[in-house]
Amino acid sequence: MKIFISGGTGFVGGHLMRELLGRGHELRLLTHRRRPVSEGIEQIEGDVSRPETFEEAVRGCDAVINLVGIIRESPFKDITFKKLHVQATANMLAAARKGGVGRYLQMSALGTRSNAVSDYHKSKWQAEELVRGSELEWTIFRPSLIFGPKDSFVNMLAAQLRMTPVMPVIGSGKYRLQPIHADDVARCFALALEKPETAGQAYELCGNDCLSYEELLDAIAAALGRTAPFKPHAPLGLMQLIIPIMQNIPLFPITMDQLQMLLEESVCDGSWQTIFGFKARGFKEAIGEYLSKT
């Protein structure tokens, strides 16, 4: 199968391309600039916001996978949820239609829904609506927090824990997450291409370890061979006053949108494992494999 991938140069994209190449697929990768890649990957220089740069490359493909996404906006750099979640999806769908591609896979996010509160989830829902409204054979995936050797979130927390035994926590720290390994997400995407019954479905993806934020910090510390950190709690009300003032500073670690998503929690029932026929990797075991080596 020949597959066109947008957003494939990121963290999850690397895992997905390895999975697809291992299954014998040919890949066309949309990229801003050429870079060293594995055999079997054809690079297409283009931009998701400029369909004319990639439409022709979509033609002749059997499937399109859209992984494009950001977790934080930078409006002054023209990096917005509307541009990269909604408009990019519209462009990819239009290119797939023009190119005669029937199969389409979309990366969304756990928590995406019609009555979403955060701007992030609202934009993901708008993108999903475009996908559902298309005539393509689509499948949508909504993963929880994705982790792996080159992730940003777990590695950021690990870097902080290497420097200090003190990790401030906003609010109670009891809000829960069910992280899922990038390899598992990649495998679901690949299997969806082999399972016609997944067309027209949206799947929530999460791991089997349901951890509070405090437990997540303790697990990362343990993987590093350190004792559980001291966790002073910043009152939620105070942070809801401070964050809106500070969030536009580039190095400030969190926005109100991200805080809202954190408080909402990111958990699911894990039923995807029955559908796709394998079990999720354990969070504690997996991070122990790569954090201990860094």
**What does the block give as tokens for 166?**
């003190």
Q: Which amino acid is at 178?
A: Q
Contacts (Cβ under 8 Å, ≥6 apart) of 90: 130
pLDDT value, residue 177? 98
pLDDT at 292: 81
| 3-state SS string for the chain | CEEEEECCCCHHHHHHHHHHHHCCCEEEEEECCCCCCCCCEEEEECECCEHHHCHHHHCCCCEEEECCCCCCCEHHHCECHHHHHHHHHHHHHHHHHHCCCCEEEEECCCCCCCCCCCHHHHHHHHHHHHHHCCCCEEEEEEECCEECCCCCHHHHHHHHHHHCCECCEECCCCCEECCEEHHHHHHHHHHHHHCHHHCCEEEEECCCCCEEHHHHHHHHHHHCCCCCCECCEECHHHHHHHHHHHCCCCCCCCCHHHHHHHHHCECCCCCHHHHHCCCCCCHHHHHHHHHCCC
Nearest to 185 by CA among 260, 87, 268: 268
pLDDT at 294: 65
CB contact at 8 A, 140 and 202: yes
State the Rg of the chain over Cα. Answer: 19
Q: How many Å apart are CA 293 and CA 69, to the nearest integer?
A: 29
**CA 1 → CA 40, 61, 101, 112, 139, distances in Å?**
12, 8, 12, 30, 17
Instruction: Kindly list the domain boundaries of the chain, sorted by start residue.
Output: 2-148+180-208+267-281
Q: What is the pLDDT of residue 251?
A: 86
Per-residue pLDDT of the chain in tens (294 residues, 90 and over written 9): 999 999 999 999 999 999 999 999 999 999 999 989 999 999 999 999 999 999 999 999 999 999 999 999 998 899 999 999 999 999 999 999 999 999 999 999 999 999 999 999 999 999 999 999 999 999 999 999 999 999 999 999 999 999 999 999 999 999 999 999 999 999 999 999 999 999 999 999 999 999 999 999 999 999 999 999 999 999 999 999 999 999 999 889 999 999 999 999 999 999 999 999 999 999 999 999 999 876
Q: Which CATH number fits domain 2-148+180-208+267-281: 3.40.50.720, 2.30.42.10, 3.30.590.10, 3.30.750.210?
A: 3.40.50.720
pTM: 0.97
The contacts found for 192-196 with CB under 8 angstroms, 24 or more apart, are 192/105, 192/139, 192/141, 193/1, 193/3, 193/25, 193/63, 193/103, 193/105, 195/276, 196/137
Q: How far apart are CA 189 and CA 66, in angstroms?
A: 11
